[in-house]
Structure 1
């Protein structure tokens, strides 16, 4: 399976789009706002550099929709605020928006028109320039030492390809309590290879003293087979397994389907950063986001009531918009999509009916390129 050609979020701005079903990711970005603002302030205050005339950033795995604009707006506002405090003219800001070539860049560019029209150095707002950069962030994307700041949110948990498995991960589509140890090792091996490759590429592209803020879905436990990692995917495996029992999906097809994703622990991330050696960790934090946050996509202050059915429905729509549809269609065929997601939604509704809050564990790490 070629992830570069197949994997992408559902484009557009319709009801089924990632743009309309990424409220949880938006909440995650809002949780990291303080880290992003502090990082931009630190870059502008770097004592070993003159006050910068330009600040170049890359948002890796930007997807499309309001979250893409949200990150860019945070950076622009942080530059304006820091410049005003320091009494300098704000630097011009160049924001490179990266995702795989199949990403819906057209929707991004249409939405960016308003930001570019309003981009001016009046009222101490920096002039801003936006560029689309298609390609995998597991390889080189930018010229050597050309970036001041790199941001990535909820992308690095996705692997560049499926791990090579020695055993069948029977009855699962991801890591669970019944997953063989060899499968766990294969998943971590692939994540390590990808994450180290990501760091090595960025070590070439980020200038000395430059910064990165990375947020990814993770876990708090050291065992990758715990409930934290599988609470979203266990119900999906059950939906597929029911379709196998009913003769709607071939058992061999089910047994050979695994998600190209790995939710790392803080210890694993810290060890890999240390192993690669080009960056120091300035800050690492863990936070939880509730499943119901997927309902809150229109405004940050949406306090509308939720119920079990609507939470399950919201999670189902978000997962479907988040790239798994393409993986399923490539492996099983498009004809199963409506049925499997209907079953998945029912399973999620049953889970949320016990009133126990279900969460997505998130890890944010701030890093500095060594001088």
Structure 2
């Protein structure tokens, strides 16, 4: 991850923390459960993958709060249940959680200790700080890699835009729409480069026929130049409104790049097939808010979720503006809700993919 941008979720357990504002991400993890359970069954049924009687499971981009151990807990429970069903001793399990060094690991470590003490198959737990766009684990050491709502984050802002001073979001709608194909293409190239690197690195770290189960924020449309499909669009619109009202400097907005990109399922499939290290076992795309009580998706809650996700990089660039960001966000989202056509599909989806190392 580019050292100039400190990307991590809001720390702690207060009202603005990620721990208190991550219910949408929790719903996405629940959707991953069947894919993780199927991957575990595949691993445990394959005589070539557990020859040593040990299993290593890693969650990349675990973040913090109540969601941090959700994926590995599903995998550990599925492992235990599989061997219990056949009345066989479970393998020794190593659980490893990864995120960037600025992640709030304090509560994560305490939760890991609880997991270690309450689950019979677990014998080793640990945290591995670092970017998942770099090598993290020894070659051939992992059996299962999981990642939820993380891989939409890029290693850095698109180089073409930064080098040529092309702003990602302009408050002038005409200029913004004219520039959209260039901006979208630059983000798409950066994602393709980053995700290809991610696949190559994980292929080195996984055992033969190892598994990956990933989910990331994506877009419904295959059209790169669809403004509604930018996953950072709402945050950018809020900042644009603040710039229009003089709350932040427009020049500051012009030089701000949110390092996030949401691919379509088709786009993701093409990258995986071209890289060649993995075969696709299953791929799904779900409405972003599916599985949640939509009555809870109030403008205030959505604005605070955006704050929990984006506050560190916004504050680094603009200064302490987040209270006004939430107030402006609530107004913007209320207007958006009142003008939205009932029944219109949301342009943002969650893309889930289960992979087997080729």
Same fold, judged at TM 0.5 (above): yes
Shift of 1:68: 1.7
Please tell me whether the aligned partners of residues 12 and 19 of structure 2 are also in contact (alpha carbons under 8 angstroms): yes
Structure 2 CA distance for aligned equivalents of residues 50 and 61 of structure 1: 25
Please tell me whether the aligned partners of residues 179 and 225 of structure 1 are also in contact (alpha carbons under 8 angstroms): no
Q: Is 58-67 or 251-260 further displaced after alignment?
A: 251-260
Match for residue 295 of structure 2?
306
Q: 1:253 to 1:206 in 2, by over 3 A?
A: same
Q: Deviations over 1:61-109 (max 9, x none)?
A: 0001111222122111100111122331011111110000000111111
Match for residue 303 of structure 2?
316
Please tell me whether the aligned partners of residues 55 and 93 of structure 1 are also in contact (alpha carbons under 8 angstroms): yes
1:365 aligned onto 2:353:
yes
Match for residue 341 of structure 1?
326
Shift of 1:251: 1.7
Classify the secondary structure of the residue corresponding to 1:200. helix
Q: 1:150 to 1:43 in 2, by over 3 A?
A: same
Structure 2: stretches of 5+ with no match in the other structure: none
Match for residue 133 of structure 2?
138
Match for residue 155 of structure 2?
160
Match for residue 318 of structure 2?
332
Q: 1:142 to 1:266 in 2, by over 3 A?
A: same
Pairing of 1:13-32 with structure 2 (within 5 A): 13-32=13-32
- Which residue of the other structure, out of 341, 346, 350, is the alignment partner of 2:335? 350
Please tell me whether the aligned partners of residues 4 and 100 of structure 1 are also in contact (alpha carbons under 8 angstroms): no
Q: 1:249 to 1:58 in 2, by over 3 A?
A: same
Q: Is 178-187 or 254-263 further displaced after alignment?
A: 178-187
Q: TM-score if structure 1 supplies the norm length?
A: 0.87
Shift of 1:19: 1.1
Structure 2 CA distance for aligned equivalents of residues 11 and 169 of structure 1: 27
CA root-mean-square deviation: 2.4
Shift of 1:119: 3.0
Q: 1:14 to 1:246 in 2, by over 3 A?
A: closer
Structure 1: stretches of 5+ with no match in the other structure: 121-125, 294-302
Shift of 1:233: 4.0
Pairing of 1:1-371 with structure 2 (within 5 A): 2-3=2-3, 6-49=6-49, 53-120=53-120, 126-164=121-159, 165=161, 166=164, 167-171=166-170, 177-226=177-226, 228-230=228-230, 233-290=232-289, 293=292, 306=295, 311-322=298-309, 324-334=310-320, 336-353=321-338, 356=342, 359=346, 360-370=348-358
Please tell me whether the aligned partners of residues 27 and 289 of structure 1 are also in contact (alpha carbons under 8 angstroms): no
Tell me the number of residue pairs that the alignment of Structure 1 and Structure 2 aligns.
348
Classify the secondary structure of the residue corresponding to 1:290. coil
Classify the secondary structure of the residue corresponding to 2:288. strand
Classify the secondary structure of the residue corresponding to 2:279. strand
Shift of 1:16: 1.6
Classify the secondary structure of the residue corresponding to 2:328. helix
Please tell me whether the aligned partners of residues 219 and 229 of structure 2 are also in contact (alpha carbons under 8 angstroms): yes
Q: TM-score if structure 2 supplies the norm length?
A: 0.90
Q: Is 83-92 or 221-230 further displaced after alignment?
A: 221-230
Please tell me whether the aligned partners of residues 292 and 314 of structure 1 are also in contact (alpha carbons under 8 angstroms): no
Classify the secondary structure of the residue corresponding to 1:306. helix
Structure 2 CA distance for aligned equivalents of residues 235 and 68 of structure 1: 25
